[in-house]
C-alpha cells in the first residue's frame, strides 16, 4: 500500500519549532501565567517568523506518577524551514525564562526545527494544529539503517493506520534538523478528547494486531533500527493567536 502523495511541493518545506520539558505540578499555575502572558507574547513580537504558537500538556496521566511531572510541548508554527530557523535564532534566553528553566523545569529538550517529511491526504478543515488533541510517536534511529524503516512506516504502516482509524482527522510526520541524534515524530490529530480515546482504541483493535506487532522487528534484536522511542497523548492548553 503506497502513501498518499504530498498535497503540493510547498508542503515538504513547512516546518515547526518544538520545545519540550517536564514541570513540577506545584509550579504549573505560576509558570503558565508567566509563559502564556509574558514570555510567549514577547517572543512573537521579537520574531515575526512565528505565525502561531500552540501549547499542549501530556494527557492520560491521571492516576500515574507522571501527573506530578507532566510533559509539556510548545509548537511554533512557521511558513517554512527558513522562517523556522529565524524563529529559532530569536529564542535567546531571557533572565526570567532562565530562572524557570533552572529551578522548576526538568527533561528540557531545547528548541529545535522539525521539517515536515510526510503527510496523509486526509487533512483538517482549519489547518494543522488547530487546538486539537493528538497522539505523538517519537523515534530515534540507527541512521545508517533508517531508510527501510522510513519507507515501511510512510508507505505501509501509516496509510493503513489512518485508513483503519477513520476518526483520525490528520496525520503528519516530521524530522528534526540539526539535532543529534535526529528525532522523527508522527502526529495523529483527533477532533476532541473523546475522539482521541476512540481513535486509540481502534488503532489497537484485534484486527490490527499484526500491523502493530510488525513494529517489533524494528526495535528488538541485537542491532535494532529504533534505538529510542516514546508515545504519548497531548491536549491543548494555550493558543496564540
**Rounded CA separation 87/174 (Å):** 17
* Number of Cα atoms under 13 Å in the Cβ half of residue 95: 0
Q: Cβ of 210: how many Cβ atoms within 10 Å?
A: 8
Tell me: the pLDDT tens digits for 67-101? 999 999 999 999 899 999 999 998 877 889 999 99
In a domain, 66, yes or no: yes
For residues 100-113, give the mean pLDDT.
94
With respect to residue 4, please indicate whether it lies within any of the assigned structural domains.
no
Beta-bridge mates of residue 73 = 20, 56
Instruction: Report residue 3's pLDDT band, with 50, 70 and 90 as the boundaries.
Output: very low
What does the alpha-carbon distance between residue 227 and residue 220 come to, in Å, rounded to a whole number?
A: 9
Domain interval for residue 65:
9-240
- Count structural domains, the chain: 1
Is residue 1, in this structure, part of any structural domain at all? no
**CA 11 – CA 117 distance, rounded (Å):** 8
Tell me the CATH number at 109.
3.30.70.100
> Considering the domain boundaries, does residue 2 fall inside one?
no
Residue 3 lies in a domain: no
Q: pLDDT tens digit string along 34-54? A: 999 999 999 999 899 999 999
Amino acid at each position: 500500500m503506497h502513501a498518499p502523495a504530498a498535497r503540493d511541493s510547498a508542503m515538504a518545506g513547512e516546518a515547526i519549532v518544538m520545545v519540550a520539558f517536564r514541570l513540577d505540578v506545584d509550579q504549573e499555575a505560576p509558570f503558565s501565567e508567566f509563559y502564556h502572558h509574558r514570555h510567549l507574547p514577547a517572543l512573537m513580537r521579537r520574531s515575526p517568523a512565528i505565525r502561531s504558537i500552540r501549547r499542549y500538556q501530556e494527557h492520560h496521566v491521571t492516576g500515574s506518577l507522571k501527573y506530578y511531572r507532566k510533559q509539556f510541548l510548545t509548537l511554533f508554527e512557521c511558513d517554512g524551514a527558513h522562517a523556522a530557523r529565524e524563529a529559532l535564532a530569536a529564542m535567546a534566553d531571557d533572565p526570567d525564562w532562565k530562572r524557570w528553566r533552572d529551578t522548576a523545569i526538568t527533561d528540557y529538550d531545547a528548541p529545535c526545527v522539525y521539517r515536515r517529511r510526510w503527510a496523509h491526504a486526509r487533512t483538517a478543515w482549519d489547518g494543522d494544529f488547530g487546538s486539537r488533541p493528538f497522539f505523538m510517536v517519537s523515534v530515534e534511529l540507527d541512521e545508517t539503517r533508517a531508510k527501510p524503516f522510513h519507507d515501511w512506516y510512510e508507505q505501509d504502516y501509516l496509510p493503513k493506520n489512518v485508513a483503519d482509524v477513520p476518526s483520525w482527522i490528520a496525520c503528519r510526520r516530521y524530522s528534526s534538523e540539526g539535532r543529534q541524534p535526529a528525532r522523527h515524530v508522527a502526529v495523529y490529530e483527533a477532533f476532541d478528547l473523546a475522539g482521541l480515546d476512540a481513535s486509540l482504541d481502534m488503532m489497537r483493535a484485534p484486527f490490527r494486531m499484526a500491523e502493530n506487532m510488525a513494529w517489533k522487528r524494528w526495535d528488538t534484536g541485537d542491532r535494532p533500527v529504533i534505538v529510542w522511542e516514546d508515545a504519548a497523548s497531548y491536549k491543548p492548553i494555550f493558543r496564540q493567536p
